[in-house]
Amino acid sequence: MFLNMKSITTGLFTTAAVVALAGCQNYTPAGDGAGSFDRGKLEMSLSPAVVEQFNSLDSNGDGVIDVSEARSNSDLMGAFGTADVDSDRQLSLEEFADSQATDNN
Ligand SMILES: [Ca+2]
Ligand SMILES: [Ca+2]
């Protein structure tokens, strides 16, 4: 009984996040190229909450969080240097997700 309730709630939350993503950008799950396919696959493997947070921080919607976008979040700004693994001064979704995953350690 409780397990069923939980899986229904999780399913609704996931659906809502996908709908939110579809609404806020030109999101094509099938994709035309290898890049967008990988991006979709990566998003599927991540927590919807992390993807949603990434998209809200990526205010110009170019798929990366740059320094000026990170400034809106003081925690992220403090962790920016560590999170930016390849030091290109931009956080990809993958770098952002990794930094969130290690945030509580
Ligand atoms: Ca951006
Ligand atoms: Ca980077």
Residues 3-20 have pLDDT tens digits of 566 655 566 555 565 555
The residues placing their C-beta within 5 Å of ligand 2, an ion, are 84, 86, 88, 90
Nearest to 97 by CA among 74, 72, 73, 65: 65
- CATH number at 94 reads 1.10.238
Whose atoms come closest to the Cα of 69: which ligand? 1
What's the DSSP call for residue 29? S
Ligand 2 center to 72 CA (angstroms): 18
The secondary structure element, H or E, covering residue 36 is helix 34-45
Q: Which structural domain range is residue 70 located in? A: 2-101
Q: How remote is the CA of residue 54 from the centroid of ligand 1, in Å?
A: 9
pLDDT tens readout for residues 52-93: 999 999 999 999 999 999 999 999 999 999 999 999 999 999
d(CA 89, CA 98): 16
Ligand 2 mean position to 82 CA, how many Å? 10
Domain count along the chain: 1
Rounded CA-CA distance 103/105 in Å is 6
Q: What is the dihedral sign for C-alpha 36, 37, 42, 43? A: positive
pTM, two decimals, is 0.61
